[in-house]
Amino acid sequence: MFVKQYVEIDLNKMSYNLYCLGIERLNIFCIGKDKGVKNTSINNLILLVELGVEDFKELLNNPKDKFLEFNKNSLYIIRESNYTDVKNLFNVINNKHINIGRGGGQKNHIFSPLEFRFFSYIMAMFNFKYPNICYLNNFRDITKDRYLPFHYNKNK
């Protein structure tokens, strides 16, 4: 999801909303340009980790961090990025080369458990206010180079 503008999220309210949904754990990774790592725990339900790109890549490839175990309960917020940035960020996990793709297969009309979990996180994050989510979803306004899996040149 591409968000139109910066939004302050009340993590205590989000924690309560997740609890009401029966979600017992969420790791939120806020990945930006700044270096360093800052951890904040909210009600023992949300762990907010703010870190730089290189710090995140190090976490992905450190065997003690066990990425595959914490990934299923994680949400990644990547600031000021596009699809290619995301793809490059996750191109090596546990020191193995990975090629991530996006949906669009034979079951693209059915939600996977991963997609359903993501939508639940988004609903809890924005306090179940559907009009706010629709307004903040920048899908119709973003340029193709932000979401296409290849470099788009509209001058061709």
Q: Which of 24-28, 85-89, 122-126 has the lowest mean pLDDT?
A: 85-89
Q: How confident is the model at residue 143 (pLDDT cuts 50, 70, 90)?
A: low
In the chain, pLDDT over 90 holds for what percent of residues?
22
Residue of higher predicted confidence among 89 and 47: 47
Residues 115-124 have a mean pLDDT of: 86
Tokens 């490059």 sit on residue: 88
Residue 69 lies in a domain: yes
Q: Is pLDDT at 122 greater than 60 in this prediction?
A: yes
Is the pLDDT at 52 greater than 80? The verdict is yes
For residues 68 and 147, which has the higher predicted lDDT (pLDDT)?
68
Instruction: Evaluate whether residue 23 is within a structural domain.
Output: yes
* 129 lies in some domain: yes
Q: For residue 145, what pLDDT is reported?
A: 61
Domains in the chain, number: 1
In a domain, 152, yes or no: no
Specify if 102 maps to a domain.
Answer: yes
- Per-residue pLDDT averaged across 38-56, rounded? 91
Q: Which tens digit of pLDDT belongs to each residue from 71-93?
A: 889 988 888 776 677 778 888 88
Average pLDDT, the chain: 79
Q: Is residue 155 situated within a structural domain?
A: no
pLDDT digits (tens, 9 = 90+) for 84-118: 777 788 888 888 888 776 555 555 566 777 778 88
Is 2 a member of any domain?
no
The whole model's pTM is what? Answer: 0.76
Residue 3 lies in a domain: no
The residue segments making up the domain with residue 85 are: 11-146
